[in-house]
Structure 1
Amino acid sequence: NIFVERVLPGAILRQLSDEEMNHYRRPFVNGGEDRRPTLSWPRNLPIDGEPAEVVALVNEYRSWLEETDMPKLFINAEPGAIITGRIRDYVRSWPNQTEITVPGVHFVQEDSPEEIGAAIAQFVRRLRSAAGV
């Protein structure tokens, strides 16, 4: 189970405890159908224009994010993994966005859960206040 055993631990700053790792392993303990998601998911990553339907969906969503005035919370990870450099600068160009930066690589919820939770709560409170709720 490469995803759980190597990808996950390699994409966070801290070391997961045995108990935490066991929670991640639990859905995939049995081979075969239990592990199908870890086979299917990578096949649906939009790489080099394939799969075309996923690329189209991602591009449509990207265009919407560029144009909509919908409030957005950008949880930036430092040092980060995928959203870095030019991609990070591009994401920062989206309108009506609040940004926080937390320590993390890719699975930032494992490195900065308290900071992320507090930022989401504050973001929602601000939106509710602006809406008079």
Structure 2
Amino acid sequence: MMIDVLGSSLYYEDSGEGVPFVFLHGNPSSSRQWRNVLPGVAAPGRRLLAPDLIGMGRSGKPDLPYRFGDHARYLDAWFDALGLEDVVLVGHDWGGALAFDHAARHPGRVRGVAFFETIVRELSWDELGEAPRRRAAAIRGPEGESLVLDGDFLVRSAYTGGVLTPLGEDDLRPYLEPYPTRESRRPLLEWARSSPLDGDPADVVERVAFSRKWLASAAEVPKLLLTFDTSPTLLITPAVAAWCAENVAALETVHCGPAGHHATEDKPGEIAAAIDAWARRHGL
């Protein structure tokens, strides 16, 4: 489905009726990443929604800087346009950070938050593995624009190197199609340069710090962290998971087995089952 927001449009998947479960994707993805998860979460009394972030997937591509705040603003407008209240948020990668940010700014709107492979706090360069550190440095460096904008490197590497089982061309095609030109790939580059590392970029560090306070204090909102193992691309390492256990209120952690960073491609059934069971335990 498509809806007009802020002079542009947002595409979203929408099925079922009842409590809104909103699934937020990351970079360089779209609502497509949830295609094998949503069927396992579907149940009577649940409405499942998965938007494409502005500038991504089938959503509009207005002339924007595509900073974190831009994405949050368009998501807010989408929530308002659909009249969504008492929502359960599920976020991966930047979708998780946007979920935390939305919950922190609209605490009365959110009933629960499930997340995995996302940004829960500022990181240091030293915390990154050798390969992710080299990749981040290259993208933030002078060659980053050419690397990301002049071809399909970012999308292709995400779904061949960021998963345990690389996607074939037929499965890759829907992820590649929204980004046929240099300009269409700018949102991907901005996201790739936005990870809060040692205080930079300042605007994202500020948003993440604000969300972290909500994560630590919102004991009335159940939260679910899904963890994985064996891949060097994982963002939620054992050390970060331990930090979450100590600093995120009302947190449950469920381990879902081996997966890469784009875990919905490797473990969609396990992700769906964990979210479904958690939601049932808490009557969400």
Using structure 2 for the length normalisation, give the TM-score: 0.42
Structure with the largest fraction of helix: 1
Task: Tell me if 1:88 matches 2:241.
Answer: yes
Query: What SS does structure 1 have at the residue aligned with 2:261?
Result: coil
Matches within 5 A, 1:43-58: 43-58=193-208
Partners of 2:266 and 2:216 lie apart in 1 by: 28
Task: Point out 4+ residue stretches in structure 1 off by more than 6 angstroms.
Answer: none
Which structure would you say has the larger RCO, counting Cα contacts within 8 Å and 6 or more residues apart? 1
Q: 2:154 is matched by which residue type in structure 1?
A: F
Opposite residue 85 of structure 1, the aligned amino acid is: P
CA separation in 2, counterparts of 1:45 and 1:8? 19
By how many angstroms is 1:111 displaced?
Answer: 0.6
Q: Are the structure 2 counterparts of residues 79 and 59 from structure 1 closer, same or farther at C-alpha, using a change threshold of 3 Å?
A: farther
From 22, 27, 40, the equivalent of 2:173 is: 22
**Comparing both structures, which one devotes a greater share of its residues to strand?**
2
- Classify the secondary structure of the residue corresponding to 1:101: strand
Instruction: Determine which of 181, 188, 201 is the counterpart of 1:31.
Output: 181
Quick one: distance in 1 between partners of 2:259 and 2:175?
18
Cα distance in structure 1, aligned partners of 2:208 and 2:215: 11
Percent identity (aligned): 32
Residue segments in structure 2 that go unaligned for 5+ positions in a row: 1-151
How well do the aligned residues superpose, as a CA RMSD in angstroms? Answer: 1.7
Superposed CA deviations along residues 62-117 of structure 1, whole A, max 9, x for unmatched, are: 22212221211111111351111321210122232222112212111111001111
- In structure 1, runs of 5+ residues without a counterpart are none
How many residue pairs get matched? Answer: 128
> 1:63-102, aligned counterparts within 5 Å?
63-69=213-219, 70-79=221-230, 81-93=234-246, 94-102=248-256
> What is the alpha-carbon distance in structure 2 between the residues aligned to residue 85 and residue 125 of structure 1?
27
Displacement, 1:23?
A: 1.3
* Greater displacement, 17-26 / 110-119: 17-26
For residue 24 of structure 1, report the CA deviation from its aligned partner. Answer: 1.1
